[in-house]
Amino acid sequence: MSRAEIFNRIRTGLKVGADDSARRAAVEARLNARARNLIPQRAQLPAEELVQLFLNMAREAAAEVIEIERREQLAAAVEHYLQAQGVGQLVSSDEELIVALQWSHDNGIVHERRPARAGDEASLTGSFAGIAETGTLLLYSGAERPTTLNFLPDTHIVALRASTIVGPYEDAWQQLRQATGGQMPRTVNLITGPSRSADIEQRLQMGAHGPRNLVIVLMHDE
């Protein structure tokens, strides 16, 4: 009832005639072309400069960045960070990269692989891409990647492969379409720094409802 009424009003307002094939063709063309709009110069850098731009922008957004040379250093880097912060618990995703990690087990840190619950101290996930333009991480949901890990724990640690850093968001969309066969995942998260709010007297406070700390472990060899 409402639906027909709304569409009628729109079409009447637009003075759509009996033949709207030209309009339909215009819509189809736009949807199929997925043309890019203007992309800022800042995001169009040579590959080697993109990593530095990503690091600068992520740090500016208050993310903490730990750089490691090799993937094999990931577990140690994460454990070192957790110990330094006095965190004794880590929940992780079931991604291949994470499952393969060799934890040391002699430092008292409790490891679990499951979706996050209220009260979890820290989580570890991978990421699909880094977007240099604004220091943004792109993560998406799936059976091995519960979304709650990105939001409930106090600290979210994200492993990022240097080779997945792109300039503008548009490059990430293109790669996402390829990786998922065009089927949009249930949830796509673009994350730029830790949670914050300025709702009390416009004073910026970090750590509103999402993670208080966002830690990016950048793997240079990957």
Site residues (CB under 8 A) for other proteins, limited to 104-163: 114-115, 118, 134, 136, 141-143, 146-148, 150-152
**DSSP H/E element including 123:** strand 122-125
**Nearest Cα residue to 216 out of 55, 52, 97:** 55
Residue range at the interface with other proteins (CB under 8 A); choices 45-53, 56-64, 101-109, 157-165 = 56-64
Q: Which of residues 189-208 bind other proteins (CB under 8 A)?
A: 189-203, 205, 207-208
Cβ distance 137 to 168 under 8 Å? no
Nearer CB in complex with other proteins: 121/222: 121
Nearer CB in complex with other proteins: 73/175: 175
Query: In this structure, what are the phi and psi dihedrals at residue 121, rounded to the nearest 5 degrees?
Result: -85, -45
Longest dimension (CA), the chain: 75
Residue 46: CB minimum distance to other proteins, A: 19
Q: Which of residues 63-82 bind other proteins (CB under 8 A)?
A: none
Secondary structure letter of residue 159 according to DSSP: E
By CB under 8 A, residue 41 contacts other proteins: yes
Kindly state the number of chain residues that form the binding site for other proteins, as judged by CB under 8 A.
76
Give the number of other Cβ atoms within 10 Å of residue 82's Cβ. 21
Secondary structure letter of residue 200 according to DSSP: T
Residue 209: CB minimum distance to other proteins, A: 4
* Interface residue with other proteins, options 111, 173, 175, 222 (CB under 8 A): 173
Cβ distance 215 to 81 under 8 Å? yes
* Interface residue with other proteins, options 24, 70, 179, 221 (CB under 8 A): 24
Nearer CB in complex with other proteins: 66/207: 207
* Interface residue with other proteins, options 49, 60, 72, 221 (CB under 8 A): 60
How far is the C-alpha of 194 from the C-alpha of 94, rounded, in Å? 23
Q: Which two tokens stand for residue 35?
A: 């043309």
